[in-house]
């Protein structure tokens, strides 16, 4: 098990390097720092001096991969690739365009992101499984059919509609919670309730329908027929046999998402004014702050790889037959 | 005179439609594909959804026939704006602009303004909405009712004509669910008739902040949604199919490289990869203004680039599926036999493996569509979607989002965008479900 985990972690290294190369290519080869400077300064009034100053301020005034002018190891380290990409492995993200330290900003914003993302994850999973179990319990009835129709309708509605509709109904018409904003401590609950409800609702349709198909597939298995034949009640069959066995595919989809919860949700945070990592990313995208976007891409992929690893471990917990080696 | 303009997206869109027809022709010659499509055709839900999708497709095709108008005067001078056949059909809607917000079917502007002279503040009369009623709008309600009833009459007549038109098709293929098609068409006609008549004198879905007709904007959005939903899949399809099959069939280091490639791409959070790519593309477009002759071409390039970016981020799922399938097929007897007979690897992939994974590709195409249409709205909202000059559901929602905070509320542009998007995505989802069930070998009994 431990050997397996170590091997998997080592396997993650080339992937992270690959991610770094892709983002590097995206940010510095497709567009040279000169292009970016021209873009940031405005296309019309740029002098070569202004571009040089912009590049020097942000550390883009070095060669891309290889610095012949430097001495010793400086040939490799005094380059944009090294200063902007390799340092990320040491979690050194540098500073954003507004001069703030990105790593510090991230640690500050992780809390609000988790305050929304964790309840969304837990409640969403619970609601979808419960709804799917209900439909499966009444399978091949009108209730089941109506439920599936509801699921398809719900997944055909744009996520933006849930957000805008929820804000309008709950905050503006009913005046139950503030439209947007955030506060530290327990008062945060007031601000978090609506985004959590909205995201759970928005995701319910597709996940409940997917879980329903998984449950139904389990229902056709022989062991279910055996369980019923030996006189188990329908409820026991459903909860003890079907649910337990259907957990594996459900876990694959769910566990991989846990680490990425740290990243928060771009859309929800932007709409509800929650100062988390999602809104940080959106602001960076809108301000074209490349350093921040690059840092978030790196962290996001690292967390995704952790998620894959967690998925493997959760397999062994859910299904004793699976051994990692 | 006009000068036809063929934008790149138009070309790809028409190619795609041609490919669909070619695919249909091929499917009709292949026994098991014909059976699967017949299952789709027998489903009422699928046929009703297909009818709706065909209506959307018609709008999209009309909106893809672009041209530039010739300017009055001597010489070969053409207008800078690129219009489409849909624009020409909807000239009335496009040109009847008001000053600002007005509610659906209204005769007055939405907000009070100081009137000329000394009449205090009141709702100003619309320039075009209900103009035929004259200054006195007493007959407004009656006029609306009369136009609606007349429109329904027109709709029923149009439906009867369609019904007659469908007679030969129904006789040729009696086992298809034509009743669902006709019922959907009836509903469409019943809605379209009144809208058509009312649109002559009113703004059926109101006007937006700068006084543009919302109905016109919504119809224009359809093309953007369709393009994003279809072209993205088209762009990523060759890479996904080729790499997936190659990885599964060849195995060894090729498999390792391809797996590494898609795991790496997959591990970058999708939205961030899209955002980063769109940012970079924006820099490229902004630093090379000389590449594009007209604003329409620039917007078109951005739309295509967005499709490509969405494609690059979404091919991994299909690729992994196909790899697994090719792994399985490689061990089957008929492939072993082909190999024993000395058939080359490329030929085995092309003749023996590709046709047997086509159902997976087919399912992926239809399943991806609705997700992509929804994704466009979200991306345009975040500001990394289509060009601001391109009308799309996302940009409509984006410009309308602050209007809910107004008092009283301006709800119609949001409602129109969401309603159209809902119908389009719902139809696509329902159709995709039936197609998946029909093509999935496990489900066929």
- What does the pLDDT look like over B304-346, one tens digit per residue? 889 998 988 888 889 988 998 898 888 889 989 998 998 888 8
Of A296-310, B29-43, B55-69, B430-444, the one with minimum mean pLDDT is: B430-444
Interface confidence, given as ipTM, is 0.85
Residue B118: band (very low, low, confident or very high) from pLDDT cuts 50, 70, 90: low
pLDDT of residue B312: 85
CA gap A93, B267 in Å, rounded: 19
pLDDT number for residue B444: 46
Closest-CA residue of chain B to A257: B269
Contacts of A305 in chain B (CB under 8 A): 267
**Has residue B432 been placed in a domain?**
yes
Check: CB of residue A152 under 8 Å from CB of residue B433: yes
- Cβ contacts of A180 on chain B, cutoff 8 Å: none
Kindly determine whether residue B283 and residue A39, on different chains, have CB atoms separated by under 8 Å.
yes
CB contact under 8 A, A304 and B267: yes
Taking residues B349-378, what's their average pLDDT?
A: 87
Which residues between 41 and 70 in chain A have a beta carbon less than 8 angstroms from any beta carbon of chain B? 43
> Which ranges constitute the DSSP H helices of B209-353?
214-250, 252-267, 270-287, 295-330, 333-340, 345-347
Indicate the number of domains in chain B: 1
Neighbours of B164 (CB within 10 A): 9
Q: A103-318 is classed in which CATH architecture?
A: Orthogonal Bundle (1.10)
| 3-state SS, residue B326 | helix
Any idea what the CATH number is for the domain that residue B407 is in?
A: 1.10.3720.10
Q: What is the pLDDT of residues B394-442, one digit of tens each?
A: 888 888 877 777 777 788 888 999 999 999 999 999 999 888 888 876 6
d(CA B107, CA B125): 6
Q: Which residue of A has its CA nearest to B394?
A: A160
- Residue tagged 């739309």 (tokens): B303
Q: How do the domains of chain A map onto residue ranges?
A: 2-90, 103-318
pLDDT at B20 over 70: yes
B395 membership: H or E segment, kind and range: helix B393-400
User: A145-183 burial by CB neighbour count: b if 16+ within 10 A, else e?
Assistant: eebbebbbebbbbbbbbbbbbbbbebbeeeeebbbbebe
Instruction: State the DSSP H helix or E strand holding residue B39, giving kind and residue range, or none if neither.
Output: helix B31-42
pLDDT greater than 90 at residue B160: yes
Low-confidence residues of chain A: pLDDT under 70:
29-31, 39-40, 42-45, 65, 70-72, 74-76, 324-325
Q: What local confidence, expressed as pLDDT, does residue B173 receive?
A: 84
Q: How many CB atoms lie within 10 A of CB B210?
A: 11
The predicted structure's pLDDT at residue B202: 85
Omega before A110 cis (within 30°)?
no
Rounded distance, CA B434 to CA B418, Å?
A: 24
Which region holds residue B72: left if phi is over 0, alpha if psi is between -120 and 50, else beta? beta
Q: CA distances (Å), B323 to each of B162, B166, B329, in order?
A: 46, 43, 10
Higher pLDDT, B200 or B135: B200
Counting Cβ atoms within 10 Å, is residue B323 exposed (0-12), middle (13-18) or buried (19+)?
buried
Q: What is the mean pLDDT of chain B?
A: 86
Q: What six digits make up the tokens of B126?
A: 């619309």
Look-up of token digits 């599926």: B321
The CB-side HSE value for B183 (13 A sphere, CA atoms) comes to 10
The reply to whether B430 touches chain A by the CB within 8 Å rule is: yes
| Inter-helix orientation angle B412-439/A159-166, to 10° | 140
Task: Say if the Cβ atoms of A155 and B429 lie within 8 Å.
Answer: yes
What is the side-by-side strand order in the sheet with B83-84?
A: B2-5, B66-69, B83-84
Q: What is the pLDDT of residue B119?
A: 64
* Beta strands B66-69 and B121-122, pairing class: unpaired
State residue B428's pLDDT score.
93
Residue B241 placed within a domain: yes
- Say if CB B218 and CB B357 are below 8 A apart: no
Q: Is residue B332 domain-resident?
A: yes
Could you list the residue range(s) of the whole structural domain that residue B253 is in? Answer: 214-439
pLDDT, residue B112, reads 76
pLDDT for residue B445 = 42
Q: How far is CA B76 from the centre of its chain?
A: 34
Q: Could you read off the pLDDT of B254-297 as tens digits, one per residue?
A: 999 998 998 888 888 888 888 878 877 887 887 777 888 778 88
Q: Cβ contact (<8 Å) for B269 and A263?
A: yes
Please give the pLDDT value at position A256.
81
Residues facing B102 on adjacent strands: B207
Q: What are phi and psi of A206, to 5 degrees?
A: -70, -40
Q: What is the band of B154 on the pLDDT scale with cuts at 50, 70, 90?
A: very high
Among partner residues B276, B397, B422, which is closest to A26 by beta-carbon distance?
B276
Give A 116-175 residues with CB within 8 A of chain B.
152-153, 155-161, 164, 167-168, 172
The residue of chain A nearest to residue B373, with distances taken between CA atoms, is A158
Q: Model-level pTM?
A: 0.89
Distinct helix (H) and strand (E) counts, chain A: 15, 0
**Are the beta carbons of A108 and A277 closer than 8 angstroms?**
no
């Amino acid at each position: 098990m431990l050997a397996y985990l170590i091997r998997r972690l080592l396997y993650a290294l080339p992937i992270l390097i690959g991610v770094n190369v892709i983002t590097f290519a995206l940010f510095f080869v497709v567009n040279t720092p000169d292009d970016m400077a021209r873009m940031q300064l405005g296309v019309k009034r740029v002098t070569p001096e202004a571009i040089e100053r912009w590049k020097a301020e942000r550390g883009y005034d070095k060669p891309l991969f290889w610095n012949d002018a430097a001495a010793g190891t400086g040939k490799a380290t005094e380059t944009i690739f090294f200063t902007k990409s390799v340092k990320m492995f040491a979690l050194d993200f540098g500073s954003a365009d507004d001069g703030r330290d990105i790593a510090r900003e991230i640690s500050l914003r992780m809390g609000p992101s988790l305050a929304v993302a964790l309840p969304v994850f837990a409640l969403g999973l619970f609601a979808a499984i419960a709804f799917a179990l209900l439909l499966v319990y009444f399978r091949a009835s009108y209730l089941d059919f109506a439920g599936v129709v509801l699921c398809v309708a719900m997944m055909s509605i744009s996520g933006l509609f849930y957000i805008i509709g929820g804000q309008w109904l709950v905050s503006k018409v009913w005046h139950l919670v503030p439209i947007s904003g955030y506060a530290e401590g327990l008062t945060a609950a007031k601000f978090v309730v609506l985004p959590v409800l909205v995201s759970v609702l928005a995701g319910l349709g597709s996940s409940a329908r997917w879980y329903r198909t998984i449950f139904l597939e389990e229902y056709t298995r022989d062991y279910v027929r055996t369980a019923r034949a030996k006189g188990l009640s329908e409820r026991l069959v459903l909860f003890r046999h079907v649910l337990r066995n259907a957990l594996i595919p459900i876990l694959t989809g769910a566990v991989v998402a846990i680490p990425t919860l740290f990243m928060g949700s771009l859309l929800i945070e932007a709409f509800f004014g929650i100062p988390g990592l999602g809104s940080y990313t959106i602001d960076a995208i809108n301000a074209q702050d490349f350093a921040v976007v690059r840092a978030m891409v790196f962290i996001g992929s690292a967390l995704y790889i952790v998620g894959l690893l967690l998925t493997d471990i959760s397999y062994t917990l859910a299904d004793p037959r699976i051994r990692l080696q | 005179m006009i000068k036809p303009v063929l934008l790149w997206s138009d070309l790809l869109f028409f190619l795609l439609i041609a490919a669909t027809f070619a695919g249909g022709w091929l499917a009709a010659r292949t026994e098991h594909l014909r059976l699967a499509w017949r299952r789709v055709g027998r489903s009422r839900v699928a046929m009703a959804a297909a009818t709706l999708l065909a209506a959307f497709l018609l709008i999209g095709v009309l909106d893809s026939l672009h041209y530039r108008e010739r300017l009055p005067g001597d010489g070969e001078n053409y207008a800078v704006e690129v219009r489409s056949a849909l624009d020409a059909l909807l000239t009335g809607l496009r040109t009847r602009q008001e000053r600002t917000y007005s509610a659906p079917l209204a005769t007055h502007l939405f907000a009070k303004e100081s009137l000329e002279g000394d009449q205090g503040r009141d709702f100003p009369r619309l320039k075009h909405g209900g103009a035929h009623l004259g200054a006195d709008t007493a007959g407004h309600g009656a006029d609306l009712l009369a136009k609606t009833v007349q429109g329904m009459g027109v709709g029923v007549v149009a439906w009867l004509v369609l019904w007659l038109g469908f007679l030969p098709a129904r006789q040729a293929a009696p086992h298809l669910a034509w009743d669902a098609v006709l019922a959907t068409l009836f509903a469409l006609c019943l809605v379209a008739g009144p809208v058509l008549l009312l649109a002559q004198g009113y703004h059926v879905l109101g006007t937006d902040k700068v006084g543009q007709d919302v109905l016109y904007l919504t119809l224009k959005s359809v093309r953007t949604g369709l393009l994003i939903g279809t072209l993205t899949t088209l762009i990523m399809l060759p890479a996904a199919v080729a790499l997936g099959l190659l990885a599964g069939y060849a195995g060894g280091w090729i498999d390792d490289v391809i797996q590494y490639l898609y795991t790496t791409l997959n591990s970058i959070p999708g939205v961030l990869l899209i955002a980063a790519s769109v940012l970079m593309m924006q820099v490229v477009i902004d630093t090379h203004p000389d590449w594009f002759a007209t604003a329409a071409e620039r917007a078109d390039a951005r739309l295509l680039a967005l499709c490509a970016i969405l494609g690059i981020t979404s091919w991994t799922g299909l690729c992994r599926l196909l790899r697994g399938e090719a792994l399985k097929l490689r061990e089957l007897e008929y492939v072993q036999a082909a190999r024993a007979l000395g058939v080359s690897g490329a030929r085995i992939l092309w003749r023996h493996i590709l046709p047997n994974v086509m159902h997976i590709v087919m399912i992926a195409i239809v399943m991806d569509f609705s997700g992509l249409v929804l994704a466009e709205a979200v991306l345009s909202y975040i500001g990394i979607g289509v060009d601001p000059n391109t009308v799309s559901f996302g940009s409509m929602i984006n410009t309308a989002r602050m209007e809910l905070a107004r008092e009283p509320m301006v709800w119609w542009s949001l409602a129109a965008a969401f309603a159209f998007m809902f119908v389009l995505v719902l139809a696509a989802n329902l159709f995709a479900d039936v197609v998946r069930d029909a093509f999935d070998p496990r489900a066929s009994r």
